[in-house]
Structure 1
Amino acid sequence: MTGFWIGIVVVVAAIVGISVLVGKMLSKPKGLGSPDRHAQMTALKASGALKYRKSNRD
């Protein structure tokens, strides 16, 4: 009977571990190769993409 519960704990730990690994692989790395937020907003404003935004009305 003890072996059954040890098996359950091992299976649950494996499922949680695999879920965490898949989540980390699918999440986008932050800051690697992407321009910072200010540069992105400047580029969008310059292109006219934010033409109708309230914050862009000067």
Structure 2
Amino acid sequence: MENKTRTQARRSDGVLVLVGENTLSPEGQAREIQCAKEVDTPILGIQAYRENRTTIY
């Protein structure tokens, strides 16, 4: 699964992340964000909730 995620990130022009309080949980988007970082794909994080200030990098 991780190789597939990394391949998709490599083929993408960028990754859009809706950031919420569970974004970095093991079941969240953390693996996908990490794969995008590993292949130097630009990441744009958008805060999903005003109250939440999760940092994704």
Question: TM exceeds 0.5?
Answer: no
Highest relative contact order (Cα 8 Å, sep 6+), 1 or 2?
Answer: 2
Normalising by structure 2, report the TM-score: 0.24
Larger radius of gyration: 1
Q: Of Structure 1 and Structure 2, which has the larger fraction of its residues in strand? A: 2
| Bigger fraction of residues in helix | 1
